[in-house]
Homo-oligomer: A and B are copies of this chain.
């Protein structure tokens, strides 16, 4: 990557939807988000009971979701409480919604 064609510039929207999609691109992270829906909030430890993965691995997935802006964590010592980041969630929802309706071209492929 980034060898000769150095830093292609994409539209902001393009970058954003790709960033969200990338964060959603692993079943473990989908499961975490689904769990967050059911529970509305959760601690890292809760996920250890749901997912057969090491604590450090789950922590890493949480970090990716957090970096993408899809979740947020608040300290509740000695735990950390995670929940959906509503603002960005709405943003992502809108982006995907627009993306998928745009490409609904019925006349396609003459």
Contact = CB atoms under 8 A, between A and B. Distances in A.
Interface residues of A, number: 51
Contacts of A31: 10, 14
A47 interface: no
Interface in A77-110: 81, 83-84, 86, 89-90, 92-93, 96-97, 99-110
A8 B89 contact: no
Contact of A18 (B27, B93, B110): B27
Interface of A: 5, 8, 10, 14-15, 17-18, 21-31, 33-34, 36-37, 40-41, 51-54, 74, 81, 83-84, 86, 89-90, 92-93, 96-97, 99-110
